[in-house]
Structure formats: C-alpha cells, structure tokens
A and B are shown apart, each in its own frame.
Chain A
Amino acid sequence: MPTIRILPDNLANRIAAGEVVERPASAVKELVENALDAGARRVEVRLREGGRELIQVVDDGCGMTAEDLVLAVHRFATSKIAEAQDLDAITTLGFRGEALPSIGAVARLKIATRPVGQEGGTAILVEGGEITALEEVGCAPGTTVTISDLFYNTPARRKFLATTATERGHCADWIVRLALAYPHVSFRLLHNDAQVLATGGTGDLREVLAATFGSDTARELLPVDLQIGALRLRGVVSSPRLLRATRAHQFFYVNSRYVRSRALGAALTKAYGMLLPAGRQPLCALRLEIGANEVDPNVHPTKIEVRFRRPGEIFSLTERAVAEALATAGYRSLDRPSTSAEPRRGPGLLPAGRLDLPDSDRRGQIERLRINPFFDEVDERDAGVEVHAETPLSVATSPGSAAVPLTDEVALLGQLWNRYLVTATGDRLLLIDQHRAAERVLFEHLQRKDQRVASQLLAIPQSLELSGPESAALLESREVLERLGYQLEDFGGTSLLIRAVPAAVTYREPLGMLRDLAADLAETSLPGELAAARQEILARVACHGAITAGQRLRQAEMEELLRALLATQAPAVCPHGDPIIVDFPASQVDRRFNR
C-alpha cells in the first residue's frame, strides 16, 4: 500500500499552486479520482441539492491507516509522488496532494476509512481547515468521504453556484468522463436519493455509453483500435448518422486521464472530412495509450489540459485510426486521402461532391450571368456580363431567368457555393450568408410571436434520450421552452418525453433541434436573468432551426428567404452579431476592372 508523505518544499514549488475546488463537480472529480487511485472496483456518489448540501463518495478501495489519514488532509500530502523525477512519470490520476486539504478548507469534511485487512477503521472530521475530531470507528473496508455544506465559510463562492440542476449536471459530467475511462469499475450516482446514472463495471465501453447516452445512441458507435509502435488508440466513434451540434460528447483520454485536447479534436474532425456537415460534430470516447513520460499533465491544476512530446505522431495516429474505423463500417469521405491543407477552407474551393452546374457537368465552361444592375450605366436591352469561370462557378439558377427582381432595389442572381445568395442592387453586389439570414428570420419570427406562440401537439409523444447534463439543462430551461411551444416532461432517468413542438418549426426536425439545443445548453450555461435567457434560447433555437450552409436551395426558397430577410428589423447582422451581408460597391468593382 502506498503511504502518504509531505512533499519537500522544492517539489511543492514545482507544482503550480491553484484552485482545486471551484464547484461541487470539482470536489466530486477529485474524490472519485482518489477512489480510483485506491483501486476501487465500486464507486458510489451521493449528492444532495446539486452537491451543495452533501457530497458523499463511497469506495471499496485500499483505505488508509490512521497516520496516513491525518497526513492526507495536509496540503501537498500525497502517496503518489515522492521526488521530483516522479513527476516525469505520473501514472495516477491525482498527484498534487491538494484535493483533500482544499476541500477541508471550504467545507465540513468527514472521512471514514479502513485499510483492507485491518480490524477497525478511523474517522476524521475537518472544519475550516482544522482537524476537530479523530476517532476509531467501525466501517466497511475502503473509504467514505462526506462533504457537507460546501463553501459554508466562503459565502461569495456559495452565491455563485448555479442552480441545483446545473450543478448536478456538472457532477454527472465528471462521473461520465471517469466511468468511460474505467469501464471495469461500477459507478453509481444518486441525487436526492434518486439514481441518475449507473454503470455495470463489466469492462465493456459500449455498455457504459449505453448507460450514459441511451441505447439508441450506443448502436451507432463504431469500434476504433490502432497501434503504431508504442502508441495505441482505442475506443469508439459515432457513425456519420449520429452527430451533434457541439463537441460536448467527445471524450478523450490519455491513458486513463480525461483530457481536453484541441489537437485530438482536430484530428477527429479531419478523419471525418466531408462526412461531417458544417456545424456538426461526431461523438467519441477515445483512449490514447502512451508512455507516461510522453505527456506532461502538470499544466493546469484541474489537470484537463495535456501537452504531448510528439504531437504530430499522435495527430496522424488519431486521424488514421478513426478514418480506418469509418472505412471499415463503409463510410469513406470523398476528400480522403487528402494531401493538401484543410479542404473546406479557402474561398477558391467548392465542397466536393456538391458541384452544381446547370445543364452540363463539364468543368471550366462559360457561365453566362445576367447581372443587370451590375454597372451604373447599362443598356437595359442587353446587359449580360459574361463570367469566364476557370474554377467552376456554381451558380444555381433556373434556365432562362437569371436575375429575379425581388423588390424595386434587390435582384436575386443565384446561389454561390451552396452557402451564399448572390444579389445586386442598383449600385452594389451583395453576398448574403444563407444560414445567418435564415437564423435572423427565424429569430425575429420567434421573438415577434413571443406573446402568442402556436404549439403543435403530438399524436405520439416522442421520447428523447439525453445525457444527464443535457436533460438537466432542458428541464431547467423548461419554462422558456414551453413559452416557445415545446412541451416536455421528465420521463425518468435522463430521458424526456416531448408532447408538443413549436408549430413554426414542425417541418424542421424539431426534436433534432431540441437535442442540439440540449447539448449546447449543457456546455455553456445561460445568463441568470430570465429575459436574457429567453433571448439566448431564441437565438440558439433559431441557429439550430435555420437552414445550414452547404444546403442547395431551390429558386423559390432563395426568393422566400431573401424576401423574409429584407423584412426583418436588422437584416445585416445575425442574432449572434456576425455579418449576414457583405457588399461590394459598383465603384469598387469598376476599379478592379481599371475603369
């Protein structure tokens, strides 16, 4: 059994000091990690009121002796490292020795522990950083840590805690992250005595995912396993049929540690390539097995960020492993293998496979665009401008009617790259971002109808299987969502039952929209004030409901969108403040032609 020692000063100094306990979830994380480091096979977490009143972590790990217990509540006391060189080969989850003392400083902390093979156990009580009781007790082998009244002595911190549902969601998040890393350990999370999450500890990653995200999600997961030299990447990724709006469902692990890594996320995205529509993200739980000295986890006190010694190798391993998993399942991105940089960036490139040339497939053909109001002085009878398109110019227009005068001022010329509407006024060429335009239209539509919204009832209520934080986020925003026309009910576990959807979006996959919104809300919480929250929800509903970039629009759809956009209060900026219209004055165009 590892014993606890005080770290020498020089070593303590090498570890950057930092806040460990920010909210109940951080305490839950630290305690569960300790339990896992103690070799627990069963971890049970009980919360009351989002962890504000009570956090209790019960494990069946190796336990501590009375002496170790006293040391454990001192700052930088840890059983996991002893000397500086140990820092270079960290294999345990916790190592900084900060968790228990930090918690003891801001809450009432009680630890009861009994080492395996010993008769009795010890209990210790810490309040305000001081040991107030130490006694022998009878208890089961393992350790039970009980934290009550978190932040009782730091009222400012306590005040900044979010609602119960949000804090519960953050705690559940961490349990999920750890459960995915330790499929052999059985996890159970109870909130106010109701079970939120339970995994069987069978060692099957899919079983953990099914318990977390619902069985219908788990069915769409593809196995990943690739080893190159000493590096190995294992886990699951979702098929392109199962995508989300955010990266909230991407779980990366280095050995058994949950990490956040832009590099791994980017490699994942690259592997999907064109299989991924704009604004959609795959789900994954991927574990990188790597020598302990190839990473430096000691970057941030919460230990989420990692640095790799050879990031390039890890990027290409990840990309290849995921691409192979997709290919095995019959999904092959058109743009693979790609040798050049990001295929979807850069204005000169069209998305592969979406090349729309009217009448013919031949490349480099001459596209004849009738752009009547392009120049100030034009002969009305024949104002055709020939655009010689070297790179294929995709302008979807119905034959024979290129320019459609919509209002007195704006004429619709067509769609460009399935992303922009090309329009012109008397003295300007306007490019309109179709997604943002649709977002603005929908946003104002929802906003205007805020007082009187129509809700379409469902003949067959639909169940929505979500993760814990997602369902918590939706339930928390329930009042606002109901004012928008959704009717939702807690369906037990983390599922919701949807009984009605906003009538305005019945044709736009309202449940998918709600699912995206849930992921979005679970990741970043809303402003506290209801009015502000409603605005934000409206903006997000509008964003998820609006037509996306990359969608080919029919002539009638483009006209409708343009008309609706011009009728809005602020056609130039989307609800998130990004530009919708970019314009090129005729004078500027003339200058380019040296006129």
Chain B
Amino acid sequence: MLKASCPQGVLHEILQTISRGVSGRSTQPVQNNIFLSSADGNLRLVATDLEYLSLDTQVPAMVTEEGAVTIPGRVFNEIVASLAEEEVSLESESPGELTIRCAKSNYHVRGLPSDDFQFLPAIEPEVEFTLPEGDLRKILSQTIFACSQDETRPILTGALFCAKPDNLIVVATDTYRLALRTLSLPLDVAEEKKVIVSARVLGELMRILEEDSSDPVSVRLSRRLVEFEVRNLKIASRLIEGEFPNYEKVIPQDPDKKLVLQIAPLERVLRRAFIVARLDSNRVVLRGEESLLRLSAQAPDLGSVEEEIEMELTGDPIEIAFNARYLLDMLEVAGGEQVALHLAGSLNPGTLRPLGRDDYTYVVMPMQIIA
C-alpha cells in the first residue's frame, strides 16, 4: 500500500502541471483521475486522456511503502494547494482510497483502484535526439500559432516535425498562412523522419518549457507516438496520422519586391488599423511606394483609418491586402529589430523573414476583393 511523504511546495508545483493532463471528459471514470504511485524514493504522477496528451512525472519523496492509487485530479490539486507549507504525508490504506495529512489537516479521499488505470503505450523510439529547452520553446512559439483550429482537417491541427541529420524543421499551416522554422544542430539521426504532432500537446509543452533554460529536452519519435522529456517530466501524445502538405511548394521562389520595415513601429500601426479592420474581416490594405508604406482599413458602418510608416523598398510600387491578425501573429514572435516582407503580385503570397535571417520563414496569403 502506498505510503510516502514530500514537502507541500514540491507536490503543489507538480500537480499544477500534471492536472492539466486530466481530461475530465473520459467515459471511463478512472481516466479522469491522477495515477499516483510510490517506489524507489520517488512519487510518480500520471494523467492522460489516452488520446492526445499524457503527462508523466516523478518527484523525490520519502517512500515508506510501495503502492499505487488513483485520485480525482481536480480535488487532489485543490486539496494540496490549500495545505500548509509543511511535509505532506500520503497513505493508501485500502485500494482506491487515500489519506492526505499535513500539519493538522487530515483528508480522506475516495479514488479508484490503480489496476484499471490505462497508460499510453510505452514508446519504442525509432528516432531520438536532444535539443536545448529554450531553443525548443522559441521554435514552438514561432510556429504553432499557425496551426489550424478546424477539426475537419485534422492534419493541419498539428505541426510537422522534420528531423534531419543536421537540422530540425517545424512547419505549421492553417492554409491561410504557413510558419516554417529551422534549427541547425546535429541531431544524430540516420535519416530524415517526419511526424505530425498535435498543436494541443505542443501548446502544453510550451507552457512547461522555460525560455532561458538550456537544459536538454529529449525528443523521441516512433511510428505512432511522440514523447518529450524535460527535467523530470515526460509529455507524450499519439501522432496525427496522414500526409502533411508539401510546404516547400508554398514558399514563393522569386518575389521581385522587398520591403524592409522596423518591427516595433509596424506592430503599432497594425494594431491601430486593427481597431477598424476587425469589423471588415481584419483586412488591411498595404500600399508601398518609394520609402513610404501606407496602411488603410475601412469598415462599412464605422469609418476608415490610414497610417504611414517608413520603409526601404526594392522593386516596383505595390498594393496588397492582408489579414492584419496574421501579420501581427508573426511580428509578435519574430524577434530582432527589422523584418523583410517579400512580395510579387497583389494576389501572390507574401513572405516575412526577420531581416538577415533565413531560419524563420512566414508565408501569408493575401485577401482579394470581389467587386
């Protein structure tokens, strides 16, 4: 029977993370619980919806007896959060029950026996590599916002991970825009491996990853599963099956116009124009001539807005309309001071890249006015 203890702070922190993996909607009641076990000087906590998300973590604890139990996730989290900052003792005296003691508090919680709890199958990795935590977070923040929300096209609700011997490519698209990020580093993989990972899992992963950390994150890929391991936490998911669209064909090859813009002022004018544009499907019209870019938006019932911003233009004058939201999404995470916008015709895709960098490419499709 499970019997262990650990400091309230440690347990609280880990429950904050793990409880996000509890589905709460499973038709099998035990899957709405957190699995808790004690062994080898560790407490292990697992939550999974058996579909897209599995969180599995271990924390050091005083283990007196080995055992396991499952506890309703939300209640467990709430109880631990409310306890005094002292040692919390956990004891399961009969199957499916847990006594939580801390200072003078004494909770007796009814859960379910651990035998029925199901885990995602253990991954048998075909490809495994590591990369620094901060780098992975950056890559994800620059891509996964472009994943589709449209459940009728499941493939696009995930991001493509393409692991090659000397770089990792992550691509996301909802067909309106496409974000592609390359990270050059030796991955120690024999050949190219492509998988599609659900944006939901990547979103959860991003919450966990720390920006300034260079701790290694292990990435394991099999035919059906992906697992990320960072510090003491494993986050796993089933892969989305299917063929990701050929993203290379989407990236324009020879756009003949190039606009160089300061990111911060561009973000500001777009935000101002957005106040009007959001009443007209977020549409802003960009007119570029010589060293001036004019942005305008109008809404049928409200009125219109015009803004000007300085830029450097190479090539002929241009007029093109975009969804302002799609431009802002990229500018917010681009990094650096300046961005280059490559354009061809007003019905051809635009390409945004942080100036002087070729590891981040963002293609955005224009909007057309049907008169």
A451, A459, A483, A503: most-surrounded residue (chain B CB, <10 A): A459
Does A576 reach chain B (CB closer than 8 Å)? no
Complex interface residues of chain B between 260 and 303 (CB less than 8 A to chain A)? 280-283, 300-301
Does A316 reach chain B (CB closer than 8 Å)? no
Does A506 reach chain B (CB closer than 8 Å)? yes
Chain B residues near A160 (CB-CB < 8 A): none
Closest Cβ of chain A: how far from B277's Cβ, in Å? 10
When the two chains form their complex, are residues B281 and A511 in contact, meaning their CB atoms are under 8 A apart? no
Closest Cβ of chain A: how far from B328's Cβ, in Å? 15
B152, B300, B367, B370: most-surrounded residue (chain A CB, <10 A): B370
Complex interface residues of chain A between 456 and 478 (CB less than 8 A to chain B)? 456-460, 462
Chain B residues near A332 (CB-CB < 8 A): 27
Indicate which residue in B149, B300, B301, B365 contacts A456 across the interface (CB closer than 8 Å). B365
Chain B residues near A462 (CB-CB < 8 A): 153, 175
Chain B residues near A504 (CB-CB < 8 A): 281
Closest Cβ of chain A: how far from B127's Cβ, in Å? 26
Does A509 reach chain B (CB closer than 8 Å)? yes
Does A449 reach chain B (CB closer than 8 Å)? yes
Chain B residues near A512 (CB-CB < 8 A): 150, 152
Chain B residues near A451 (CB-CB < 8 A): 371
When the two chains form their complex, are residues B281 and A503 in contact, meaning their CB atoms are under 8 A apart? yes
Complexed CA–CA distance, A459 and B146 (Å): 12
When the two chains form their complex, are residues A455 and B150 in contact, meaning their CB atoms are under 8 A apart? no
When the two chains form their complex, are residues A457 and B371 in contact, meaning their CB atoms are under 8 A apart? no
Task: Known A332-B27, A458-B175, A504-B281; judge A453-B152 contact (CB<8 A).
Answer: no
When the two chains form their complex, are residues A457 and B369 in contact, meaning their CB atoms are under 8 A apart? no
Does A226 reach chain B (CB closer than 8 Å)? no
Indicate which residue in B245, B368, B370 contacts A460 across the interface (CB closer than 8 Å). B245
Task: Known A460-B250, A512-B152; judge A455-B370 contact (CB<8 A).
Answer: yes
Does B323 reach chain A (CB closer than 8 Å)? yes
Complex interface residues of chain A between 360 and 394 (CB less than 8 A to chain B)? none
Complexed CA–CA distance, A448 and B250 (Å): 33
When the two chains form their complex, are residues A500 and B368 in contact, meaning their CB atoms are under 8 A apart? yes
Does A198 reach chain B (CB closer than 8 Å)? no
When the two chains form their complex, are residues B152 and A459 in contact, meaning their CB atoms are under 8 A apart? no
Does B363 reach chain A (CB closer than 8 Å)? yes
Chain A residues near B149 (CB-CB < 8 A): 507
Task: Known A332-B27, A503-B283; judge A460-B175 contact (CB<8 A).
Answer: yes
Tally inter-chain residue pairs, CB-CB below 8 A. 77
Chain B residues near A482 (CB-CB < 8 A): 370
Q: Nearest chain-B residue to A498 (Cβ)?
A: B175
Chain B residues near A484 (CB-CB < 8 A): 370
Complexed CA–CA distance, A334 and B282 (Å): 40
Complexed CA–CA distance, A425 and B106 (Å): 50
Closest Cβ of chain A: how far from B371's Cβ, in Å? 6
Does B53 reach chain A (CB closer than 8 Å)? no
Does B23 reach chain A (CB closer than 8 Å)? no
Closest Cβ of chain B: how far from A418's Cβ, in Å? 15
Does B354 reach chain A (CB closer than 8 Å)? no
Complex interface residues of chain A between 205 and 264 (CB less than 8 A to chain B)? none
Does A452 reach chain B (CB closer than 8 Å)? yes
Chain A residues near B27 (CB-CB < 8 A): 332, 334
Chain B residues near A507 (CB-CB < 8 A): 149
Does B158 reach chain A (CB closer than 8 Å)? no
Does B37 reach chain A (CB closer than 8 Å)? no
Chain B residues near A449 (CB-CB < 8 A): 300
When the two chains form their complex, are residues A483 and B300 in contact, meaning their CB atoms are under 8 A apart? no
Indicate which residue in A334, A460, A503 contacts B367 across the interface (CB closer than 8 Å). A503
Closest Cβ of chain B: how far from A379's Cβ, in Å? 37
When the two chains form their complex, are residues B177 and A459 in contact, meaning their CB atoms are under 8 A apart? yes
Does A454 reach chain B (CB closer than 8 Å)? yes
Q: Nearest chain-A residue to B298 (Cβ)?
A: A452
When the two chains form their complex, are residues B300 and A459 in contact, meaning their CB atoms are under 8 A apart? no
Task: Known A454-B321, A507-B149, A512-B150; judge A459-B173 contact (CB<8 A).
Answer: yes
Q: Nearest chain-B residue to A508 (Cβ)?
A: B150
Hey, what's the 0/1 contact readout for B336-371 against A, CB within 8 Å counting as 1? 000000000001010000000000000101111111
Q: Nearest chain-A residue to B148 (Cβ)?
A: A509
When the two chains form their complex, are residues A452 and B175 in contact, meaning their CB atoms are under 8 A apart? no
Q: Nearest chain-B residue to A449 (Cβ)?
A: B300
When the two chains form their complex, are residues A456 and B323 in contact, meaning their CB atoms are under 8 A apart? yes
Task: Known A459-B365, A503-B281, A504-B281; judge A453-B176 contact (CB<8 A).
Answer: no
Does B100 reach chain A (CB closer than 8 Å)? no
Complexed CA–CA distance, A506 and B156 (Å): 14
Does B2 reach chain A (CB closer than 8 Å)? no
The count of chain B contact residues (Cβ–Cβ below 8 Å) is 31
Does B195 reach chain A (CB closer than 8 Å)? no
Chain A residues near B144 (CB-CB < 8 A): none
Complex interface residues of chain A between 546 and 584 (CB less than 8 A to chain B)? 567
Q: Nearest chain-A residue to B366 (Cβ)?
A: A457
Task: Known A457-B366, A482-B370; judge A503-B175 contact (CB<8 A).
Answer: no
Does A142 reach chain B (CB closer than 8 Å)? no
Complexed CA–CA distance, A452 and B283 (Å): 12
Chain A residues near B151 (CB-CB < 8 A): 509
Does A485 reach chain B (CB closer than 8 Å)? yes
Complexed CA–CA distance, A79 and B223 (Å): 60
Closest Cβ of chain A: how far from B224's Cβ, in Å? 17
Does B39 reach chain A (CB closer than 8 Å)? no
Closest Cβ of chain A: how far from B109's Cβ, in Å? 16
When the two chains form their complex, are residues B369 and A506 in contact, meaning their CB atoms are under 8 A apart? no
Chain B residues near A503 (CB-CB < 8 A): 281-283, 323, 367
B176, B283, B321: most-surrounded residue (chain A CB, <10 A): B176
Closest Cβ of chain B: how far from A43's Cβ, in Å? 35
Indicate which residue in A454, A459, A567 contacts B175 across the interface (CB closer than 8 Å). A459
Complexed CA–CA distance, A580 and B365 (Å): 37
Complexed CA–CA distance, A448 and B150 (Å): 26
Chain B residues near A567 (CB-CB < 8 A): 301
Q: Nearest chain-B residue to A330 (Cβ)?
A: B27
Complexed CA–CA distance, A503 and B283 (Å): 9
A454, A500, A567: most-surrounded residue (chain B CB, <10 A): A454
Complexed CA–CA distance, A156 and B370 (Å): 39
When the two chains form their complex, are residues A457 and B368 in contact, meaning their CB atoms are under 8 A apart? yes
Closest Cβ of chain B: how far from A217's Cβ, in Å? 12
Complexed CA–CA distance, A526 and B371 (Å): 23
Chain A residues near B250 (CB-CB < 8 A): 459-460
Complexed CA–CA distance, A453 and B153 (Å): 25
Chain B residues near A454 (CB-CB < 8 A): 280-281, 283, 321, 367-370
Chain A residues near B152 (CB-CB < 8 A): 509, 511-512, 515
Chain B residues near A456 (CB-CB < 8 A): 176, 281, 323, 365, 367
Task: Known A507-B149, A512-B152; judge A457-B365 contact (CB<8 A).
Answer: yes
Complexed CA–CA distance, A332 and B178 (Å): 38
Complexed CA–CA distance, A507 and B367 (Å): 15
Closest Cβ of chain A: how far from B230's Cβ, in Å? 32
Closest Cβ of chain A: how far from B75's Cβ, in Å? 11
When the two chains form their complex, are residues B367 and A459 in contact, meaning their CB atoms are under 8 A apart? no
Q: Nearest chain-A residue to B152 (Cβ)?
A: A512
Indicate which residue in A448, A452, A459, A506 contacts B349 across the interface (CB closer than 8 Å). A459
Complexed CA–CA distance, A455 and B369 (Å): 6
Complexed CA–CA distance, A456 and B175 (Å): 10
Chain B residues near A452 (CB-CB < 8 A): 369-371
A-B contact sample (11 more), CB < 8 A, given A453-B369, A504-B281? A454-B281, A454-B369, A459-B175, A459-B363, A460-B245, A460-B250, A483-B370, A485-B370, A509-B151, A511-B153, A512-B150
- Would you give 25 A-B contacts (Cβ < 8 Å), ordered by A? A451-B371, A452-B369, A454-B280, A454-B369, A455-B369, A456-B176, A456-B281, A456-B365, A458-B365, A459-B176, A459-B177, A459-B250, A459-B363, A460-B173, A460-B245, A484-B370, A485-B370, A503-B282, A503-B323, A506-B281, A507-B149, A509-B151, A511-B152, A511-B153, A567-B301
Interface residues of B (CB under 8 A from A): 27, 149-153, 173, 175-178, 245, 250, 280-283, 300-301, 321, 323, 347, 349, 363, 365-371
The 7 A-B residue pairs with the shortest CB-CB distance in the complex, in nearest-first order:
A503-B281, A457-B365, A512-B152, A453-B370, A458-B175, A460-B245, A455-B368
